[in-house]
């Protein structure tokens, strides 16, 4: 008798996103395993953010999104954005990172002991401040007074306070100095090592390759290739277009 | 004219203005929404109190909760009707819909209550206090006490409680609030229901000071608008201070210059303050 295949943390079947009759995204099948750190890369306009937003039912321009999304084997496609968040699907968007007129501690306080997070890891404020010492020092500062790196940290910290099951980060490296990008991605790796499942959407392919276990290449709204990061580095479509290496 | 008497008149009038504006302060200042039917909701609150007292013989303090209940229902229904516009942050359409809603309330009230002025006498408004030449009613004292308590409670709720934090989060960035797991529909509905309740309380307290007419809504809207803008959009304390300042200004202007031009003078004051302090009296970012 063979061992049962574990249920993926996240599954997507036949997803499409259509803006005014134009198909921006068409993903037949996608899976994210428990405790995995996967990265979606692709050029500008490839549909990376559309995919991330569609997973949450959250986007500008209200595209028509079809397909099925399963979180821990249960369909969440019919749920609203805030209901998906309460189930543990967390998105840290490219912009809209923090509430800028509220203090760091207020940004972190709102989700204290959410009743809907039963059975999931809920990071305490102390754990958050251990993980992000800069935020501890600036807990009384307004979100709008933080630097780009600190805002990114606060975005992640806010998500951790909501007991994420799957955490999606959309372009966390954007606007950050390379050293800060490394710090952010190291933090994400630490969280994955502690058991969190993370999907990293990234245009900075070199940075993504250093951080993730598996790479997915998206082009024109479709998954062109995917696999372990070492294999994908050798794939000419990735090597030539994104790493500047002749295959 | 007795200066002290005018000072008291101004303070009572100012607290009345602040109390009438409290719903809009939350709506525009805290939740970034508008309701141009606010004045007609005030009129409805006054007439509901009068109706249940005069037709059903209910005591004043029993008629107030019914008027508040009607205010909550109207506020909720109004927001329920235009919820999609609110979520899309289509503020121009929200403005027009609420304006239309106000006119519907105006017409319905004229049809039901008639266009004759009525008097809302309460056990407090008919009891005068004289201290030498100075005159005040118990209703006036009640207005001041209720306004101070209401503003203090609101400031505490908005700044110190979880509910207040949720409202501020939705106000600042509704899309990010969704990603924080907040049901923004519930918040928008609750804020409008609160506004309905607040304006009904204000009407039940303030309307006994003057005859009530179904056409009085627009004047109340204008005063509310001036108070909220003058106070600095986003500031609860600012609205309170602006209400008092405006009341004192109206009382002294009416007594020493001309009561007929008080509204015009209020707008001149509004323009002057906004030129000097574009953010209003409490122009500090994030102030409540």
| Category of A11 on φ-ψ map: left (φ > 0), alpha (ψ -120 to 50) or beta | beta
Burial class (CB in 10 A: 0-12, 13-18, 19+), A247: exposed
| Chain A residues inside the 8 Å CB shell of B162 | 110, 112
**Are residues B166 and A110, on separate chains, in Cβ contact within 8 Å?**
yes
Interface mutation vs chain A, best among B179, B284, B285, B286, most A CBs within 10 Å:
B179
pLDDT number for residue B213? 93
pTM over 0.90: no
| Chain A residues inside the 8 Å CB shell of B178 | 58, 80-82, 85
Least Cα separation, residue A159 to chain B (angstroms):
8
In this structure, are strands A166-170 and A89-92 parallel, antiparallel, or unpaired? parallel
CA dist A136 and A143 (Å) reads 13
Mean pLDDT value of segment A79-106: 91
**Residues in chain A, overall count:** 247
User: Is the confidence metric ipTM above 0.95 for this complex?
Assistant: no
| Smallest CA–CA distance from B184 into chain A, residue | A82
**Are residues B169 and A110, on separate chains, in Cβ contact within 8 Å?**
yes
Least reliable range by pLDDT among A16-20, A214-218, B33-37, B274-278: B274-278
Mean pLDDT value of segment B77-93: 88
Interface mutation vs chain A, best among B84, B162, B168, B181, most A CBs within 10 Å:
B181
pLDDT score of A1 more than 60: no
Count CA atoms within 13 Å of residue B286 on its CB side.
14
> Is there a contact between B206 and B244 (Cβ–Cβ < 8 Å)?
no
Give the model's confidence band at A3: pLDDT under 50 very low, under 70 low, under 90 confident, else very high.
Answer: low
**Are residues B180 and A56, on separate chains, in Cβ contact within 8 Å?**
no
| Chain A residues inside the 8 Å CB shell of B179 | 56, 58, 81, 85, 90-93, 96
**Are residues A93 and B176, on separate chains, in Cβ contact within 8 Å?**
yes
pLDDT number for residue B288? 60
| Smallest CA–CA distance from B181 into chain A, residue | A82
- SS3 labels along A224-238: EEEEEHHHHHHCHHH
pLDDT score of A166 more than 90: yes
pLDDT score of B286 more than 50: no
pLDDT score of B34 more than 80: yes
Three-state secondary-structure class, residue A41: strand
**Are residues A93 and B166, on separate chains, in Cβ contact within 8 Å?**
no
Least Cα separation, residue B139 to chain A (angstroms):
39
Per-residue pLDDT tens over the stretch A172-226: 888 788 888 888 899 999 999 999 999 999 988 888 888 899 999 999 999 988 9
**Are residues B286 and A101, on separate chains, in Cβ contact within 8 Å?**
yes
| Chain B residues inside the 8 Å CB shell of A101 | 168, 172, 285-286
A and B: number of Cβ contacts within 8 A: 60
Domain range list for chain A: 10-242
| Smallest CA–CA distance from A156 into chain B, residue | B180
| Smallest CA–CA distance from B285 into chain A, residue | A101
Task: Report long-range pairs for B3-6 (Cβ below 8 Å, ≥24 apart).
Answer: B4/B134, B5/B133, B5/B134, B5/B135, B6/B251, B6/B252, B6/B255, B6/B256
pLDDT number for residue B68? 97
Residues of chain B with pLDDT > 70: what percent?
A: 96
Mean pLDDT value of segment B238-244: 93
CATH match for A10-242 among 3.20.20.140, 3.40.50.970, 3.40.50.300, 3.90.700.10: 3.40.50.300
Structure tokens at A244: 């500047």
pLDDT number for residue B14? 96
| Chain B residues inside the 8 Å CB shell of A98 | 176
CA dist A37 and B138 (Å) reads 69
Q: In 3D, which of B34, B10, B49, B12 has the Cα closest to residue B201?
A: B49
pLDDT score of B279 more than 80: no
pLDDT number for residue B190? 95
Least Cα separation, residue A142 to chain B (angstroms):
10
pLDDT number for residue B285? 45
Beta bridge partners of B246: none
Per-residue pLDDT tens over the stretch B135-157: 999 999 999 999 999 999 999 99
Residues in B whose CB is inside 8 Å of some CB of A read 162, 165-166, 168-169, 172-173, 175-176, 178-184, 285-286
Residue among A99, A106, A111 minimizing CB distance to B176:
A99
Give the mean pLDDT of chain B.
Answer: 90
Residue among B172, B181, B286 minimizing CB distance to A111:
B181
Give the model's confidence band at A241: pLDDT under 50 very low, under 70 low, under 90 confident, else very high.
Answer: low
**Are residues B165 and A102, on separate chains, in Cβ contact within 8 Å?**
yes
Q: Does A181 touch chain B (CB under 8 A)?
A: no
| Chain B residues inside the 8 Å CB shell of A82 | 178, 181-184
pLDDT score of A59 more than 90: no
Interface mutation vs chain A, best among B171, B177, B178, B287, most A CBs within 10 Å:
B178
**Are residues B179 and A114, on separate chains, in Cβ contact within 8 Å?**
no
């Amino acid at each position: 008798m063979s061992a049962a295949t574990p249920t993926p943390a996240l599954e997507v079947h036949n997803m499409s996103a259509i803006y005014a009759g134009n198909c921006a995204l068409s993903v037949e099948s996608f899976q994210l395993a428990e405790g995995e750190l996967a990265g979606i890369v692709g050029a500008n306009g490839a549909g990376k953010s559309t995919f991330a937003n569609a997973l949450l039912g959250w986007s500008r321009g209200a595209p028509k999104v079809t397909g099925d999304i399963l979180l821990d084997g249960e369909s969440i496609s019919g749920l609203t954005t805030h209901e998906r968040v309460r189930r543990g699907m967390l998105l840290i968007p490219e912009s809209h990172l923090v509430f800028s007129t509220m203090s760091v501690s207020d940004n972190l306080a709102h989700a204290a002991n959410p009743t809907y997070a039963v059975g999931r890891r809920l990071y305490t404020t102390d754990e958050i401040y251990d993980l992000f010492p800069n935020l501890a020092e600036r807990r009384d500062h307004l979100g709008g007074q933080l630097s780009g790196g600190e805002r990114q940290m606060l975005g992640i910290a806010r998500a951790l306070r909501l007991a994420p099951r799957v955490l999606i980060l959309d372009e966390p490296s954007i606007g950050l100095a390379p050293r800060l990008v490394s710090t952010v991605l190291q933090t994400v790796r630490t969280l994955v090592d502690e058991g969190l499942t993370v999907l990293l959407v990234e245009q900075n392919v070199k940075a993504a390759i250093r951080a993730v276990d598996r790479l997915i290449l998206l082009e024109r709204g479709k998954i062109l290739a995917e696999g372990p990061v070492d294999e994908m580095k050798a794939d000419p479509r990735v090597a030539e277009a994104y790493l500047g290496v002749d295959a | 004219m007795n200066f002290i008497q005018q000072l008291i008149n101004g303070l009572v009038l100012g607290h009345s203005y602040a109390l009438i504006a409290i719903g809009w302060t939350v709506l525009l200042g805290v939740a970034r929404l508008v309701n141009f039917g606010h004045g007609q909701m005030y009129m409805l609150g006054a007439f509901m109190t009068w109706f249940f007292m005069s037709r059903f013989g209910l005591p004043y303090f029993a008629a107030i909760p019914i008027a508040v209940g009607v205010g909550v229902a109207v506020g909720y229904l109004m927001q329920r009707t235009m919820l999609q516009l609110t979520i899309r942050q289509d503020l121009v359409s929200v403005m027009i819909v609420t304006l239309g809603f106000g006119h519907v309330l105006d017409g319905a009230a004229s049809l039901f209550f008639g266009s004759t002025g009525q008097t809302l006498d309460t056990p407090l408004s008919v009891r005068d206090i004289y201290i030498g030449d100075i005159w005040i009613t118990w209703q006036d004292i009640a207005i001041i006490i209720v306004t101070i308590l209401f503003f203090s409670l609101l400031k505490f709720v908005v700044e110190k409680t979880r509910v207040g934090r949720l409202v501020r989060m939705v106000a600042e960035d509704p899309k990010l609030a969704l990603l924080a797991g907040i049901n923004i529909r519930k918040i928008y509905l609750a804020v409008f229901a609160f506004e309905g309740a607040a304006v009904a309380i204000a009407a039940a307290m303030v309307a006994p000071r003057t005859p009530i007419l179904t056409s009085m809504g627009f004047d109340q809207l204008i005063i509310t608008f001036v108070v909220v803008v003058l106070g600095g959009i986003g500031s609860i304390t600012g609205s309170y201070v602006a209400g008092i300042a405006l009341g004192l200004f109206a009382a002294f202007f009416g007594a020493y210059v001309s009561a007929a031009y008080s509204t015009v003078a209020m707008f001149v004051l509004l323009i002057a303050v906004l030129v000097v302090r574009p953010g209003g009296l409490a122009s500090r970012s994030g102030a409540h």
